[in-house]
Amino acid sequence: MKDCWFPVGAADDIPSAPGRETLLMGEPIRLFRKAGQIQACDAEGRDLPVTVAYDHVWTSLGTPSQPIFAIPEAEEPGRRFVPCGHVRVACSPLRAVENFLDIAHFPFVHTDILGAEPHTEVYRYEVKIREEEDEVWATKVRFYQPQAAKAAEGGQEIEYMYRVPLPTASVLYKTCPSKPEAWDVIAIFVQPLTETTCVAWPWMALYDDTSSQADLVGFQQMIFLQDRAILENQVPALLPLDPGKEIPTRADMTSIAYRRWLKSHDYTYGAQLEAQ
């Protein structure tokens, strides 16, 4: 997992050298701007790989074998990019991603916004690991939402797709209220500070020319603060990877696939295995 890319900061918020310190997987690292370039180094001053993508800085304690994943939709003209600040959460970075993949909680955690009783049913959807890209994908996810987005008026059934390209990053596509033929793109980039603390950096690429940036960020922040109240109260804090510790149902197919995928790659930072 060390060789994966991880988000560590907002690209427009990196001071010039000596820069600022943060944590990545328990290790102190430093981010700074030098000669117009964003750079990163570890506690010994060793250079770390850096890439800037989707308004965020990504680095790794190891050697990433691939460039950062692509979000082709983000290239489409007319989209607005909305980095949504950050939310620090006392939970496993893997639990934070799993929560992002979950829709069954909408009526209870994001009541009257992303869901509302009695519309609690999670219909059958499709999940698979795309071997070529090595990503988890869930498609044909449908859910009734009272206010699907800032620009939405009234309730509607929304369709979603989810993908997990990295152990601590996920991108979702959802029906766009103002442009039915397009998808809104919402991502969560999670920085693992330790196995039980993380920073979530939500990011969006939307077709929305009416809402103000502040309103869009405020909407996403509100949603993530509601999720934080859950994430900081899950027991154990580490994500159990072995079946039998927790009881999933059909609605949890994405979470089941995500856990299997993590385990098959040995992506276990923030996870709990049988022996423990």
Partner 1 sequence: MTDTPRTPSQGTPPQWTPVALSRDLAPATAIPVIAEGTELALWRGRSGRLAAWHDRCPHRGMRLSQGFVRDDMLSCLYHGWRYDLEGQCRKIPAHPELEPNKAICVPAWSVTEATGIIWVSETGSGAPPDTGALAPLRSLTVERSEDALRDHLGDGVVIEFDGLHLLLQGLPQGRCVLHALTGPGLDAAGQRAASHRLEALRTRFEDSEDIA
**Interaction of residue 55 with Fe ion, rule CB under 5 A:** no
Q: How far is the CB of 13 from partner 1 (least distance, A)?
A: 32
**Interaction of residue 270 with partner 1, rule CB under 8 A:** no
Which position has the token pair 């909407």?
219
Nearer to partner 1, 80 or 250 (CB): 250
- One character per residue 237-266, x = contact with partner 1 (rule: CB under 8 A): ---x-----xxxxxxx--x-----------
**Interaction of residue 98 with Fe ion, rule CB under 5 A:** no
Q: Which two tokens stand for residue 259?
A: 């856990």
Let me know if 242 is exposed, middle or buried by CB neighbors in 10 A (0-12, 13-18, 19+). middle
**Interaction of residue 117 with partner 1, rule CB under 8 A:** yes
Whether residue 264 contacts residue 104, with contact meaning beta carbons closer than 8 Å, is answered with: no
- Given Fe ion, partner 1, none, residue 60, with its beta carbon under 5 to 8 Å by kind, binds none
Q: Which residues contact 212 (CB under 8 A, 6 or more apart)?
A: none
Nearer to partner 1, 217 or 231 (CB): 231
Nearer to partner 1, 119 or 179 (CB): 119
Element (H, E) at 215: helix 213-231
CA-based R_g, the chain, Å: 18
Whether residue 97 contacts residue 103, with contact meaning beta carbons closer than 8 Å, is answered with: no
Window of 134-142, 154-162, 198-206, 232-240 that interacts with partner 1 by CB under 8 A: 232-240
∠ CA 159-207-205, rounded to 5°: 80
Residue 130: name the closest of 237, 261, 276 by CA. Answer: 261
Please compute, for residue 250, the number of CA atoms within 13 A of its CA located in the half-sphere on the CB side. Answer: 7
Q: How far is the CB of 212 from partner 1 (least distance, A)?
A: 32
Local structure of 175: helix, strand or coil: strand
Distances in Å between the Cα of 89 and the Cα atoms of 6, 188, 200, 262 are: 16, 13, 7, 21
- One character per residue 217-246, x = contact with Fe ion (rule: CB under 5 A): ----------x-------------------
- Given partner 1, Fe ion, none, residue 195, with its beta carbon under 5 to 8 Å by kind, binds none
**Interaction of residue 104 with partner 1, rule CB under 8 A:** yes
Q: How far is the CB of 91 from partner 1 (least distance, A)?
A: 11
**Interaction of residue 153 with partner 1, rule CB under 8 A:** no
Binding site for Fe ion (CB under 5 A): 227
Binding site for partner 1 (CB under 8 A): 102, 104-105, 107-109, 117-118, 120-122, 229-230, 233-236, 240, 246-252, 255
